Amino acid sequence: MPHIQPKTTPIYQTSVFAFDDLNALEQYFEQPGQSYMYTRYGNPNTDELAQQVNQLEQGAGAVVTSSGMSAILAAVLAVCKAGDHVLCAEEIYGGSSALLSQELTRIGIRVDFVPTADTYSLANYVQPETQLFLVETMSNPLLQVFDVQRLAQETKREGILLVIDNTFATPVLTKPLALGADMVIHSVTKYLSGHSDVTAGVVVCKEQEHLQRVQKVMMVYGLNLSPFDGWLAARGLKTLRLRMKQHSSNALVLANFLQQHPKVEKVWYPGLEEHAQHALAKQQGQGLFGGMMSFKIVDDTEAVNRFMRALPTIPFAPSLAGVNTSISYPLGSSHRSLTPEQQQKMSITAGVIRLSVGIEEPEELVAELEAGLAAV
């Protein structure tokens, strides 16, 4: 058979790999990473994805998981055990909040949520058992931008780890490890994969010690990603830089359009000069502001329904970051698990709509939103 050298990594759609003999098996255990045994432990496709994301985030290594949620789980369980304490930003994805407060508390990990006003002064929240602080580069859904360098200085001072969910920003805008974070997580499902056809996650670590622990948790808990999803995500990742530039460019056009529209009461987008962290976002995001925004119309669910139905092609799809624009409704989807008091405190009201801006022509998107708003 001739020597074959494919330009793109083939899909290793296998659950297990064969060995020549017992010597080959011993070599597998003595020289980790030189060969493969079982796809739950490792596979060329998921390893390729991990290496590519790690290269972008400039870490010591990365571990790919089955979803963004399992990436958060792996990161927390890598450093926490029963009796330990975790801090989490108050403004965070509802799923992250539910995982910490409803599930990890059941296995003895205590959780406290830090109000936004106290994000950079943790002394009153850190306890002897506190292990880490989890926060997003840009919060979901109201795009609060956090100063990763300041957060890193504060967590170092308090002797805890800083874990950053960099899903909204991506390493094209912000590299948290270079700014002092200890671990970075992504829902690869979103921008890294980018085409709304993969469910995956990744944890990138600054230190080998944490990397080995995350790897162990992934293997033992069975949080691994399938080979085909690994291959698809690695394929999508190749266009990340191009996509993020277009997402950001389109989003700025739409934010400016929405801001001046009489039926829009408020727009949350870091690219707007009125945004409270605009200067930080510009500096930390290399002049790009990402493709995510939220805006508020009248607090009436029927008005929101009319807006959604009047959009010619933009779908109501409770996820984000695909090449096609979509809208979501935080109150009824991503932040549904929060109490009414928490929702109110975070300003997530009935009229708030989250917009994931795609890479279409901006003029088309403006016309779409115009049609939707005309029905409100």
* Whole-number Å distance between alpha carbons of 301 and 167: 28
Q: What is the largest CA-CA distance in the chain?
A: 73
Q: Alpha-carbon distance 169 to 357, whole Å?
A: 13
Return the amino acid letter for 223.
L
What residues are paired with 293 via a beta bridge? Answer: 355
* Alpha-carbon gap, residue 98 to 263, rounded angstroms: 33
Cα–Cα distance, 98 to 338 (Å, whole number): 8
CB-CB contact of 313 with 325 (8 Å)? no
Give the active site residues.
40, 93, 165, 190
Q: Cβ-count burial of 286 within 10 angstroms (0-12 exposed, 13-18 middle, 19+ buried)?
A: middle
Look up tokens 């870490």; give the residue. Answer: 59
CA 267, distance to chain mean position in Å, is: 21
**Pairwise CA distance, residues 159 & 149, whole Å:** 15
Give the span between the Cα atoms of 158 and 170, in whole angstroms.
27
Which two three-digit tokens encode residue 143? 């795009």
Angstrom distance (rounded) from CA 112 to CA 87: 5
Reference 15, options 35, 31, 37, 34; nearest CA is: 37
- Using CA atoms, how far residue 168 sits from 15, 42, 155, 227, 376, in Å, is 32, 27, 22, 25, 28
Candidates 142, 155, 136; CA nearest to 96 is 136
Q: Is 348 in contact with 268 (CB distance < 8 Å)? A: no
Instruction: Give yes or no for a cis peptide into 262 (omega within 30° of 0).
Output: no
Residue 254's H or E segment, with its range, is helix 240-259
